[in-house]
Amino acid sequence: MASSSDTSTGAGAQKPKKQFLLNAFVMTTPGHLSPGLWRHPRNHTDEYNKLKFWTSLAQLLDEGGFHAMFIADTLGPYDVYKGPANVDPVLASGAQFPVNDPLYGVPAMAAATKNLIFGVTASTTYDAPYALARRFSTVDHLAEGRVAWNIVTSYLESAARNFGLETQIEHDERYRIAEEYMEVVYKLWESSWRDDAVVRDREKGQFAVAGRVRQINHKGKYFQVPGPHISEPSPQRTPFLFQAGTSKAGTEFGAKHAEAVFVGGQLPELVRKSVDALRSTAKQFGRDPSHIKVFAGITLVVDETDEKAQAKYKEYLSYADREGALALLGGWTGNDVSPFSDDEDLVLVDKPAIRSVINRWSGTVPGTDGLKWTKARIAEFLSIGGMMPKIVGSPKTVVDELERWAEVADVDGFNLAHVVNPGSFEDIIEFVIPELRRRGLFRTEVEREGATAREVFFGQAHLLSDHPGSQYKWPIE
């Protein structure tokens, strides 16, 4: 967060307010986190496969002041519910299926915008680091540095099967692979080309200088990559690095490598524990904890008044698809709830993974005290914004709650999911951002037009000196 210009001093002076960072959370699919809502009259996510849909959205966000578009991804369908390996329940709702590759539209969206950053999800489990490094260098060039990589290790059995495995690689082993993966891509991005390698000297007929491009000669447990990097250094070299993961292994990985982390939870008091653990672990890796920006995922339903917002929320629910919601639950937990009866309280079932998730919701979701968590209640809860907390209300109600989240959870900003698109982001731009600005909580203009992602968040294009990737830099001698 940046500080607002309210820096008055003297007796009774208020502490300068921190300004929020805002990302639009999307996915290249008909139904991201609100299954069934693709058919709502305002919504056009069924046009997810049209380039104009994405360039128009990018322009809206850019002109509206959003910092970034954060693009989720999966590498397999949610096929656990009524399974095994059954995609039928997600087909009507388009619940994260079908889904296109999120990277390919970024250059076109970047060309249509001036300042918007594009965070793209890609996995370290099913892609070779040499190939991924090339793709992100290419897009960082074409987007002139406005690119971030959301690092994931993947979690779906369906993805594992489709990449030739009988089952998923064990959770912590995936992070051990990811650790070496990062070492390889840092070497490719930071250590293979010296800053003065490319000269583009037309008179001498010299594009790049011999001796200033070298192999990386990586030989590890999981990867053998001689190099050199096949792409010349891009504006950021290493793309800005996002990550999400609150397991012990995930927290350690994020604390070491991430420059921004996406956290989730129903209550800011509980999210604060994850944030504190992340920042404490970053210190152990020799990093300044403030060099990690933390974003909380939230779904907003906003209108002129609380009453109108509540009516809008209820109208959205009328388009929800129960089967799609329960299919998403199956993918997220790895468990099929179809064998249970409709009136059974899933808090009590003999399935630890399901019981653990439902117990968290039953104890934290506002307004659910004493209620049974049946399949119908679960489907209703997941149908608008998935597992994210929901804030429904007027601009004042919404921003009051966002302020509380920022203060209590110690987050720097928010990943804001859409229910309908177009629709949700327009509502945020019309109702929420003006109220944030009125309170000094959001920028009124960009600091420098065309800045790279890392410049926007940390003021410089390349990795900070306390980041582990910086050790691989090849300085000019």
> What average pLDDT score do residues 29-33 get?
98
Report the SS3 class of residue 223: coil
Structural contact between residues 292 and 244, judged by C-beta atoms closer than 8 angstroms: no
Res 40: pLDDT: 98
> What average pLDDT score do residues 263-284 get?
96
Res 357: pLDDT: 83
Residues facing residue 39 across a β-bridge: none
pLDDT in tens, 127-138: 999 999 999 999
Of the listed ranges 90-99, 334-343, 422-431, the least confidently predicted one is 334-343
Residue 414 pLDDT > 50, yes or no?
A: yes
Residue 1 pLDDT > 70, yes or no?
A: no
Burial of 429 (0-12, 13-18, 19+ CB in 10 A): middle
Res 12: pLDDT: 52
Token pair recorded at residue 140: 């960082």
Residue 86 pLDDT class (50, 70, 90 cuts): very high
> What average pLDDT score do residues 280-300 get?
98
Residue 80 pLDDT class (50, 70, 90 cuts): very high
Helices (H), 5-128: 51-64, 88-91, 106-111
Cα–Cα nearest to 398, from 435, 349, 448, 353: 435
Query: Which residues, in sequence order, are CB contacts of 244 under 8 Å at separation 6+?
Result: 150, 152, 250, 254, 261, 262, 263, 264
Q: Distances in Å between the alpha carbon of 377 and those of 194, 326, 358, 361?
A: 57, 11, 11, 11
pLDDT in tens, 101-125: 999 999 999 999 999 999 999 999 9
Q: What is the Cα gyration radius of the chain?
A: 23
Res 15: pLDDT: 66
Which single residue is written with the structure tokens 């490094």?
Answer: 133
Q: Distances in Å between the alpha carbon of 164 and those of 20, 169, 224, 308, 330?
A: 43, 11, 20, 50, 22
Res 246: pLDDT: 80
Res 275: pLDDT: 97
For the chain, the distance separating the N- and C-terminal CA atoms, rounded to the nearest angstrom, is 36
Distance (Å, rounded) from C-alpha 72 to C-alpha 26?
A: 6
pLDDT in tens, 369-409: 788 999 999 999 999 999 999 999 999 999 999 999 999 99
Q: Where does residue 75 fall: left (phi above 0), alpha (psi -120 to 50 degrees), or beta otherwise?
A: alpha
Res 13: pLDDT: 55
Structural contact between residues 387 and 264, judged by C-beta atoms closer than 8 angstroms: yes
Largest CA distance in the chain: 79
Q: How far is C-alpha 33 from the geometric centre of its chain's CA atoms?
A: 13
Q: Provide the sign of the torsion angle of the four alpha carbons 81, 84, 32, 240, taken in this order.
A: positive
Residue 359 pLDDT class (50, 70, 90 cuts): confident
Percent of the chain clearing pLDDT 90 (strictly above): 90
Structural contact between residues 379 and 325, judged by C-beta atoms closer than 8 angstroms: yes
Helices (H), 285-319: 306-317
Q: What are phi and psi of 407, to 5 degrees?
A: -75, -50
Task: Please count the other Cβ atoms lying within 10 Å of the Cβ belonging to residue 436.
Answer: 21
Residue 4 pLDDT class (50, 70, 90 cuts): very low
Q: Distances in Å between the alpha carbon of 196 and those of 192, 208, 211, 218, 466?
A: 12, 8, 11, 23, 23
Query: pTM of the prediction?
Result: 0.95
Residue 316 pLDDT class (50, 70, 90 cuts): very high
Task: Please count the other Cβ atoms lying within 10 Å of the Cβ belonging to residue 88.
Answer: 12
Cα–Cα nearest to 32, from 43, 22, 45: 45
206 compared with 13, residue with greater pLDDT: 206
Residue 360 pLDDT class (50, 70, 90 cuts): confident
